[in-house]
Amino acid sequence: MPGRNFLFVPGPTNIPERIRRAMDVLLEDHRAGDFPTFMKPLFEDLKKIFQTTSGRVFVFNASGTGGWEAAITNCLSPGDGVLQARFGQFSHLWAELCRKHAMEVTLIETPWGEAVPYDRYAEVLAADKAHRIKAVLVTHNETATGVTSDIQRVRKILDDLKHPALLMIDGVSAIGSIDFRMEEWGVDIAVSGSQKGLMLPTGLGLVGVSQKALEARKSAKCARAYFDFDDQIRMNDDGWFPYTPAMTLIRGLRESVNMLLEEGLPNVFARHARFAEAVRRGVKAWGLELCARDPASYSNTVSAIVVPTGKNANDVVKNAYARYNLSLGGGLGDVAGKVFRIGHLGDLNEIMILSALAGAEMALRDSGIEVTPGSGVGAASEYLRSTWQAS
């Protein structure tokens, strides 16, 4: 098919040319004497992206799932209690990973489309007088449903109850795209991946770790080797890695961090919020609804769009790809076949957003879902035009 693929899944995202060029380098010696002069400033600048000064950020050759495993195995022990709400595919998978490491998971079943059940979290934690729960897990931005939860509200629950559990956040589709303040919000572990807001290929798992979490690792009993924080600390302090790093990706990571800091994180977050609102206006003009039920929890990085009863969202995804070379996200888990997803994060501008809506609009009609031609694109374009500001 002529032309390029239009990538609008919620990760991997589009790679900017600056990052592509930064990665297009000859392979290098990661034990060269001058390597720390490159790596040590990058470790410090990653802390700016996570918005922490006292914590650390570890970089693993892994996906976000590897980051999850690093988080729990370094800070918890078999038999420890973990609190998690299951309100999407990725919250479900993190809970399952904890179970595989023999942790006692208190799982709160929550309708998919809702955010973290704050009141239920408070009830469970208040009842945990013996503090058997050692970690509270929150998927900040549930990619399967397009729902963003309030991390500060969870932190306040812990503080009000004086509960000592670690607050662990899955920020894979949040960090680098929507507001995330690790230190200010009292987050102990924050996990991200390279393929979302950082605009890189898949392959790096990044884990922000607070001083409290670093202290917890001293008594944690989970077996760990590749993901051992101690090995990272020992080598990172001098600008090295305990194993061969994915240097091509790390060169790209350096450029990604440069781009985010040059734009300024508040501007990055505002850009994502504006594009997300344009997509939502397009969805409303189609006469469709989002999976996310509360406007306060609408995600600024991905919209999961519900198709009418009797229709199959997978048809929309298939038609978009086969006919228009447009990649949309399918529904996962409990919402498979019920929603399709438009990812709107990373390196995007107005015309790119409109192209996703135009292709989705055609695919909807091809799938027997009657929407007025041009309605979604028109609503979004008017919003984008009226809110444009010179940078």
Q: Are 246 and 93 in contact (CB under 8 A)?
A: no
* pLDDT 10s digits, 245-285: 999 999 999 999 999 999 999 999 999 999 999 999 999 99
Q: What is the pLDDT of residue 350?
A: 98
Computed over every residue of the chain, the mean pLDDT equals: 97
* CA 378/CA 374 separation, integer angstroms: 6
* CA 65/CA 159 separation, integer angstroms: 28
* pLDDT 10s digits, 328-368: 999 999 999 999 999 999 999 999 999 999 999 999 999 99
Q: How far is CA 74 from CA 101, 107, 123, 213, 262, in A?
A: 12, 21, 27, 9, 33
What does the pLDDT average to over 190-199? 98
* pLDDT 10s digits, 204-249: 999 999 999 999 999 999 999 999 999 999 999 999 999 999 999 9
Residue ranges per structural domain of the chain: 6-12+265-386, 17-262
What does the pLDDT average to over 110-123? 98
* pLDDT 10s digits, 59-101: 999 999 999 999 999 999 999 999 999 999 999 999 999 999 9
What does the pLDDT average to over 318-329? 98
Q: Which fold has domain 6-12+265-386?
A: Aspartate Aminotransferase, domain 1 (3.90.1150)
Residue 1 predicted with pLDDT over 90: no
Q: How far is CA 130 from CA 4, 67, 191, 272, in A?
A: 57, 28, 28, 42
Q: Are 287 and 131 in contact (CB under 8 A)?
A: no
> Residue 2 — very low, low, confident or very high, per pLDDT cuts 50/70/90?
confident
What does the pLDDT average to over 308-320? 98
Q: pTM of the prediction?
A: 0.96
| Geometric angle at alpha carbon 262, from 18 and 196, rounded to 5° | 60
* pLDDT 10s digits, 34-44: 999 999 999 99
Level-2 CATH architecture, domain 17-262: 3-Layer(aba) Sandwich (3.40)
Handedness of CA 64, 66, 67, 73 (dihedral sign): positive
Residue 141 predicted with pLDDT over 70: yes
First to last CA, the chain: 36
* CA 315/CA 7 separation, integer angstroms: 17
- Residues comprising the chain, all counted: 391
242 φ/ψ angles, rounded to the nearest 5 degrees = -80, -5
Q: What is the pLDDT of residue 241?
A: 98
Q: Are 92 and 98 in contact (CB under 8 A)?
A: no
Residue 391 predicted with pLDDT over 70: no
What does the pLDDT average to over 102-111? 98
Residue 390 predicted with pLDDT over 80: no
